[in-house]
């Protein structure tokens, strides 16, 4: 059985298999070693995520260790906060989760995953920065106030809470909010509508996730390859390699 990495998150995860998406790039990177499993739910915040956790990662009948198929995943990326950080008095208020609750919810999600699978790597990813101009230009819902429903400052507070949770739990985190803003023109280069990622933005997430996984021993050099590589097959006696 090939091991698995689950991608659990909101629309930035759900869309991660679109052209050049970070999820598809991970699946390509690990094409002979890991199954990358998509569990992205557009629009979801951590409050809703907590409500569906048991359904997204069902326990097996026998024992309780392992997801529905009985296989303990190598890793789970947890990538929420962009919706929690919607402002409570703007047009997407129904997705808003207060900062304190966001932190508690994230702790609860990590705790659930670590209890279910003590050996699985849980990797947090902070929400990306927000380009408020982009958010006004590409509204998702009617916006009578004419004010952005997300701000970069609010996203930064949630990113900070996410980093704090990683620290408290002793698990790795990709601080996307900070990382992206280190580059010039991040607003347009990495974000296509002020929130969702361009192909270059996706590339950053992919590279940061691969780096974090590698630091925890989950790399192409270490993970076993599924079946002989063509480069290892003896052209004079190919079947020999399949009889091992």
Report yes or no: 123 and 75 within 8 Å, Cβ to Cβ: yes
Residues contacting its own copies: total by CB under 8 A: 48
Q: Which two tokens stand for residue 224?
A: 């076993």
Residue choice 24, 157, 164, 220 for contact with its own copies (CB under 8 A) = 24
Residue 239's alpha-carbon distances to 197, 216, 220, 224, 226, in angstroms, are: 45, 36, 25, 20, 16
User: Does residue 11 carry a catalytic annotation?
Assistant: yes
Segment near its own copies (CB under 8 A); pick from 37-45, 105-113, 182-190, 216-224: 37-45
The percent of the chain in helix, strand and coil, each rounded to the nearest 5, is 40, 10, 45
Q: Which of 49-55's residues contact partners 24+ apart within 8 Å by CB, and which partners?
A: 49/8, 49/80, 49/105, 49/109, 50/105, 50/108, 50/109, 53/109, 53/112
- Which among 93, 80, 89 has a CA at the least distance from the CA of 47? 80
Closest to its own copies by CB, 222 vs 230, is: 230
> Per CB under 8 A, does 32 bind its own copies?
yes
User: Does residue 196 carry a catalytic annotation?
Assistant: yes
Closest to its own copies by CB, 41 vs 158, is: 41
User: Does residue 89 carry a catalytic annotation?
Assistant: no
Report yes or no: 123 and 209 within 8 Å, Cβ to Cβ: yes
- Which among 83, 94, 100 has a CA at the least distance from the CA of 46? 83
Residue choice 5, 15, 116, 224 for contact with its own copies (CB under 8 A) = 15
How would you classify residue 91: left for phi > 0, otherwise alpha for psi between -120 and 50, otherwise beta?
alpha
Under DSSP, the state recorded for 52 is H
Nearest distance, CB of residue 177 and its own copies, angstroms: 22
Report yes or no: 153 and 135 within 8 Å, Cβ to Cβ: no
> Per CB under 8 A, does 89 bind its own copies?
no
> Per CB under 8 A, does 47 bind its own copies?
yes
Residue choice 37, 72, 99, 220 for contact with its own copies (CB under 8 A) = 37
The site string for its own copies over 102-121 (x = CB under 8 A, - otherwise) reads --------------------
> Per CB under 8 A, does 18 bind its own copies?
yes
Closest to its own copies by CB, 136 vs 233, is: 233
Cα–Cα dist 244/242, whole Å = 6
- Which of 16, 96, 196, 212 is flagged as catalytic? 196
Residue choice 59, 65, 88, 94 for contact with its own copies (CB under 8 A) = 94
Would you please indicate which residues are annotated as catalytic (active-site) residues? 11, 193, 196
Tell me which residues touch its own copies (CB under 8 A): 1, 14-15, 17-21, 23-25, 27-28, 31-32, 35, 37-38, 40-44, 47-48, 51-52, 55-56, 58, 68-71, 94-95, 199, 226-227, 229-230, 233, 235-236, 238-239, 242-243
């Amino acid at each position: 059985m090939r091991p698995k990495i689950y991608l659990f998150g909101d629309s930035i995860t759900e869309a991660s298999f679109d052209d050049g998406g970070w999820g598809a790039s991970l699946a390509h990177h690990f094409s002979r070693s890991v199954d990358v499993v998509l569990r992205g739910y557009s629009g979801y915040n951590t409050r809703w995520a907590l409500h569906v956790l048991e359904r997204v990662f069902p326990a097996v009948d026998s024992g309780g260790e392992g997801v529905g198929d009985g296989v303990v995943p190598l890793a789970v990326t947890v990538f929420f906060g962009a919706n929690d950080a919607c402002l409570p008095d703007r047009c997407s208020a129904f997705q808003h989760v207060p900062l304190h609750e966001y932190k508690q919810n994230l702790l609860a999600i990590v705790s659930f995953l670590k209890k279910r699978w003590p050996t699985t790597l849980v990797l947090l990813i902070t929400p990306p920065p927000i380009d408020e101009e982009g958010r006004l230009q590409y509204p998702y819902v009617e916006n009578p106030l004419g004010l952005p429903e997300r701000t970069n400052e609010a996203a930064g507070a949630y990113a900070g809470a996410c980093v704090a949770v990683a620290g408290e739990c002793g698990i790795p985190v990709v601080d996307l909010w900070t990382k992206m803003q280190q580059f010039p023109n991040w607003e347009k280069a990495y974000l296509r509508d002020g929130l969702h990622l361009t192909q270059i933005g996706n590339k950053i997430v992919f590279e940061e996730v691969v780096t974090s996984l590698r630091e925890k021993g989950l790399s192409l050099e270490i993970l076993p390859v599924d079946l002989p590589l063509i480069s290892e097959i003896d052209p004079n006696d190919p079947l020999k390699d399949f009889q091992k």
